[in-house]
């Protein structure tokens, strides 16, 4: 069955055809690690994870590459302002390396809780400075650069189709441009490939180069790293819709100026997460991190379920009420998975099983239509009479290869031994008395005895590990 993806380059759904039959090369724009990962990021990376799972479900071999931006991302997302990580390091009185390491770990910890599979290759910008320098040299050799007092810039007027991804009206941009912050730029849309270190301030991150001591521009990072691991032309590039007009537009420009080849076949972008109608972002301070989810005693997988109820191209407004509702629905699903493991004597219709498989494949292959795929699963659970409990269970586990809700871990609840029950009571008493050290020790003891506790709002959930 064919796969259709909405390609931002062309603004329409297109049949997906990989460059190499049976293989997919995919690059996902990763986080800038200067602060905690938040729900807006979670939406983006659950989407990418679900996309990768869908491709694999179709029997395709996927090479998934994601970058970690730990240098070069300035505060205005273009060529002005401070480096976000340098500024954070100064604020917290730490080294840039400590900052990037801490927030990179936080990011992957959050991804693990959301059951987002780690990419095949995770590449840090600071490990690929030489690749970036070599790419800038190639662009320079091809005649697309010029030098200013603060860096090496890409001359967008020399690329005939600059802005094709975003459909930018370059002349309109020039007419509507305010006074340019950098008067040395030839064109309003020109961007930095390499920035020189400021003369009046010592940077923690800077490197020698043929152009002068400095650091890479934000956009050059993704081009250099994606082409190193996936080749000069690859299948899919993902990112948020906010990357379309600047970051991804400039990636295309510099990459194609360097190679003379088409950079990416399919550009697939996710929409924003909003809260109270505003885009969730670090700059606005209106974001929720994993610690907020856990403090509100919400299961992270409920957040994943919530995301699956919306198409990745729609804007999802996050509220704690919607998170709680998703958790209730997920817990209901888990209860059904327990009940479906109870034996029954029904015989399944093979035709019905195949019908569900084909419908599920049709939904996920139609630009990742997870809301319809979830509805199909609930129809199977609640309405289907021609499929046995055992086969329903197996079908849902098959669907969960794409959903990623860890439904294979749901087991028929066993009777909890009296020793464990007594320890749980002791722990609850310790918590009520605010003796958290004792409560933690009891929890560790319970874990040593083979059981895990999860604190929910109304009760303590116990499962065997």
How many Cβ atoms from other residues are within 10 Å of residue 127's Cβ?
Answer: 11
> Which two three-digit tokens encode residue 255?
């990459």
CATH dotted code for 320-409: 1.20.120.1910
Residue 172 reports pLDDT greater than 50: no
Q: Give the pLDDT band (50/70/90) at residue 173.
A: very low
Residue 458 reports pLDDT greater than 70: no
d(CA 343, CA 353): 18
User: Cβ distance 125 to 214 under 8 Å?
Assistant: no
Looking at residue 176, what is its pLDDT? Answer: 37
d(CA 10, CA 265): 11
Helix, strand, or coil (residue 147): strand
What average pLDDT does the chain have? 89
pLDDT digits (tens, 9 = 90+) for 376-394: 999 999 999 999 999 999 9
How many Cβ atoms from other residues are within 10 Å of residue 378's Cβ?
Answer: 13
- 32-66 b/e (C-beta count within 10 Å ≥ 16 → b): bbbbbbbbbbbbbbbbbbbbbbbbbbbebebbbbb
Looking at residue 282, what is its pLDDT? Answer: 63
Provide the terminal-to-terminal Cα distance of the chain, rounded to the nearest Å. Answer: 39
Segment 18-36 shows an average pLDDT of: 94
Region of 25 please: left (phi>0), alpha (psi -120 to 50) or beta. Answer: beta
Q: Which residues pair with 14 in a beta bridge?
A: 5
**Alpha carbon 125 to chain centroid, angstroms:** 17
Cα-Cα-Cα-Cα dihedral sign, residues 239, 241, 245, 246: negative
Looking at residue 199, what is its pLDDT? Answer: 79
Domain boundaries, the chain: 4-274, 320-409, 418-464
Residue 181 reports pLDDT greater than 80: no
Residue 412 reports pLDDT greater than 90: no
Least Cα distance to 227 among 84, 99, 131 occurs for 131
- Per CATH, domain 4-274 is 3.40.50.620: yes
Torsions phi, psi of 294, nearest 5?
A: -70, -35
Q: Give the pLDDT band (50/70/90) at residue 450.
A: confident
Looking at residue 276, what is its pLDDT? Answer: 75
> Which residue in this structure is represented by tokens 């749901």?
410
Segment 356-360 shows an average pLDDT of: 98
Residue 428 reports pLDDT greater than 90: no
Segment 405-417 shows an average pLDDT of: 80
- Lowest-confidence range among 108-112, 286-290, 313-317? 286-290
């Amino acid at each position: 069955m064919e796969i259709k993806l909405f390609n931002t380059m062309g603004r329409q759904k297109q049949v997906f055809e990989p460059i190499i039959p049976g293989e997919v090369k995919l690059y996902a724009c990763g986080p800038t690690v200067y602060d905690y990962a938040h729900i807006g990021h979670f939406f983006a990376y659950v989407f990418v994870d679900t996309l990768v799972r869908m491709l694999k479900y179709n029997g395709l071999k996927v090479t998934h590459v994601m970058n970690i931006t730990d240098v070069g991302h300035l505060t205005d997302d273009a060529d002005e302002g401070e480096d976000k990580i340098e500024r954070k390091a100064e604020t917290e009185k730490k080294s840039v390396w400590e900052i990037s390491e801490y927030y990179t770990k936080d990011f992957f910890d959050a991804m693990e809780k959301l059951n987002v599979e780690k990419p095949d290759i995770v590449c840090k910008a600071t490990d690929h400075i030489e690749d970036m320098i070599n790419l800038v040299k190639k662009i320079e050799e091809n005649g697309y650069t010029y030098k200013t007092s603060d860096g090496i810039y890409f001359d967008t007027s020399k690329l005939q189709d600059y802005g094709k991804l975003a459909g930018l009206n370059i002349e309109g941009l020039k007419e509507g441009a305010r006074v340019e912050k950098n008067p040395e730029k030839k064109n309003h849309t020109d961007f930095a490939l390499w920035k020189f270190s400021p003369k009046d301030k010592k940077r923690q991150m800077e490197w020698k180069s043929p152009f002068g001591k400095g650091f890479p521009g934000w956009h050059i990072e993704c081009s250099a790293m994606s082409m190193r691991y996936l080749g000069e032309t690859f299948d899919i590039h993902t990112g948020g819709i906010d990357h379309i007009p600047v970051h991804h537009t400039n990636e295309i420009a510099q990459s194609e100026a360097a190679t003379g080849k088409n950079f990416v076949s399919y550009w697939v972008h996710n929409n924003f997460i909003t809260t109270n109608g505003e885009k969730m972002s670090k700059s606005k301070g209106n974001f929720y991190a994993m610690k907020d989810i856990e403090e509100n005693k919400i299961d992270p997988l409920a957040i994943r379920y919530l995301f699956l109820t919306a198409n990745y191209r729609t804007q999802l407004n996050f509220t704690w009420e919607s998170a709680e509702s998703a958790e209730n629905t997920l817990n209901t699903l888990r209860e059904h998975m327990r009940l479906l493991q109870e034996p029954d004597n029904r015989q399944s219709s093979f035709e019905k099983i195949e019908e569900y498989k084909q419908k599920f494949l049709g939904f996920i292959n139609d630009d990742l239509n997870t809301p319809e795929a979830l509805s199909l699963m609930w129809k199977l659970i609640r309405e289907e009479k021609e499929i046995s409990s055992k086969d329903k269970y197996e079908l849902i586990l098959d669907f969960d290869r794409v959903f990623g809700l860890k439904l294979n871990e749901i087991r028929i609840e066993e009777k909890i031994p009296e020793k464990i029950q007594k320890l749980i009571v002791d722990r609850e008493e310790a918590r009520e008395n605010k003796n958290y050290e004792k409560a933690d020790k009891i929890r560790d003891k319970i874990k040593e005895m083979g059981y895990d506790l999860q604190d929910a709002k109304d009760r303590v959930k116990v499962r065997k590990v």
